[in-house]
Amino acid sequence: MSGAWAIAEQTARESYGRLLAWLSARTGDVAAAEDALADAFRAALEHWPEKGAPKSPEAWIITTARRKLIDHARKQKTRSDAHSAVLLAAEEAESEANSESQFPDERLKLMLICAHPAIEPSVRTPLILQTVLGLDAARIASAFLISPKAMSARLVRAKRKIKEANIPFTAPSLDVLPERLSAVLDAIYAAFGTGWNDFDGAEDSAGGLTLEAIFLAKLLTTLSPDEAEAWGLLSLMLHAEARRNARRDDGAYVSLKDQDTRAWDKTLIAKAEEALAKAWRLDKPGRFQIEAAIQSAHAASRLQDRDVTEDVILLYQRLIELAPTLGAQTGFAAALSNGGRDEDALTLLDGINDHAVSSYQPYWAVRAHILGTLNRNEEARGAYERAIGLASDISVRAFLHHKKKAL
């Protein structure tokens, strides 16, 4: 019995996104496909423990989902063309399921739909997490700091939009593909955290979705292996993940230069380097590759005891040319300060003309550090104060209090 459960669970984990993508691509209705799949998995949990798991669990699920879709289409009394599309899809599903061949993988199309320009940017990441990975709204909501009810409502609205706006499940033409893929990359990176930076005082966030984000990036490199930025993003996230355990010592925040490298995951670092090498070979540089290269340099500085200060400064310069975000500029300032160019760093920070600075915590942490180095302690204390007030992680707050006291 537990065996049948395990097979049902495994099928859900490994095949959910593929089955849903396949059903959605043929019906254009993500919500209906989701419902049908959920019913099919529920039926599997009822029948399999009793009768044993079928030889081909995926075929069983898709056949059952097909019946549910037909029922749904009938009940909805949809327009005849939509109705026949559903029936056609259902028949195709059955013949595919009965043949031994694998379903075509439509997950890339599904991800592109979720990150379509017609879908509001803030809901793209939750939509990908739910459709490709089958995460429930409550889990996604907790990572994004909103209520499960509100998250469900946003997801439902987005899926209705896909259906009503008739966003096509076809691969975009080559001239818009890079732009569309970049929206997918942004959505995956948003699942990883609000940003990943190794300058002191930066927080890592988005509780527990990092592994999901890495899975998605890996999937993207499989589905679209010529996309250099997908490899870059994968590398960046693997580097970050490799150091996760070392960033906290007994709950307290530990900055990069003080981290115990024995706690770094060397296997992940090797995989990160491999992904970055693949990206470079494609010879299409982008912001994620540059950010991964910065993390790679940081790793080398500790593991091979190499002075990477100038490399990091050059990489940040390049990053700012490509993507002049507040995070990149703050990182550049931190890198300059690290290279002893604190006056330049401060000039750079002073020159940022962006209202978002007033609520961007890392800016104030880096500014405080630079002012402290320049012995402008009174101003440094004020900047630390701002950073403390903007921190939401209790250990980062404690770290900043400590630095302020040490001035």
Partner 1 sequence: MKYLFLLYDDENAWDSMPEDQRNEIFGSYFAYSDALRKSGAYIAGAPLVHSRDAKRVGRQVEDGPFADGKEQLGGYYMIDAKNLDEALDWAARCPCASIGHVEVRPVWNIGE
- For partner 1, the binding residues (CB under 8 A) are 122, 145-146, 150, 358-359, 385-392, 394, 397-398, 401
Question: Considering the complex, what minimum distance in angstroms separates the CB of residue 176 from partner 1?
Answer: 29
Smallest separation (angstroms) from partner 1 to the CB of 385: 5
The alpha carbon torsion through 368, 371, 375, 376 (nearest 10 deg) reads: -100
Gap between the Cα atoms of 396 and 366, Å rounded: 13
Candidates 392, 341, 325, 340; CA nearest to 365 is 392
| Contacts with 93 (C-beta within 8 Å, 6 or more apart), sequence order | 22, 23, 26, 62, 63, 65, 66
Of residues 329, 317, 389, the one with CA closest to residue 354: 329
Angle at 379 between CA 325 and CA 367, to 5 degrees: 20
Taking the complex as a whole, how short is the minimal distance between the CB of residue 395 and partner 1, in angstroms?
9
Q: Is 298 or 386 the residue whose CB approaches partner 1 more closely?
A: 386
* Smallest separation (angstroms) from partner 1 to the CB of 124: 15
Q: Is the CB of residue 296 less than 8 Å from the CB of residue 240?
A: no
Residue 405 CB burial class (10 angstroms; 0-12, 13-18, ≥19): exposed
Whose tokens are 């300059």? That residue is: 336
Range list of H helices, 115-227 = 121-133, 137-143, 148-164, 177-192, 210-223
Q: How far is the CB of 94 from partner 1 (least distance, A)?
A: 44
Minimum CB distance to partner 1, residue 394 (Å):
4
Q: With respect to partner 1, which residue has the nearer C-beta, 169 or 384?
A: 384
Token pair belonging to 112: 């592109």
State the minimum distance, in angstroms, from the CB of residue 354 to partner 1.
Answer: 12
* C-beta of 77 vs 355, nearer to partner 1: 355
Residue 126 or 286 having the CB closest to partner 1: 126
Instruction: Indicate the residue among 63 and 152 with the shorter CB distance to partner 1.
Output: 152
State which residue, 322 or 398, has the beta carbon closest to partner 1: 398
262 forms beta bridges with none
Residues in CB range of 83: below 8 A, 6 or more apart:
73, 74
In the complex with partner 1, which residue's Cβ is closer, 154 or 287? 154
- Separation between Cα atoms, residue 258 and residue 399, nearest integer Å: 13
Minimum CB distance to partner 1, residue 290 (Å): 27
Closer to partner 1 at the Cβ: 266 or 402?
402
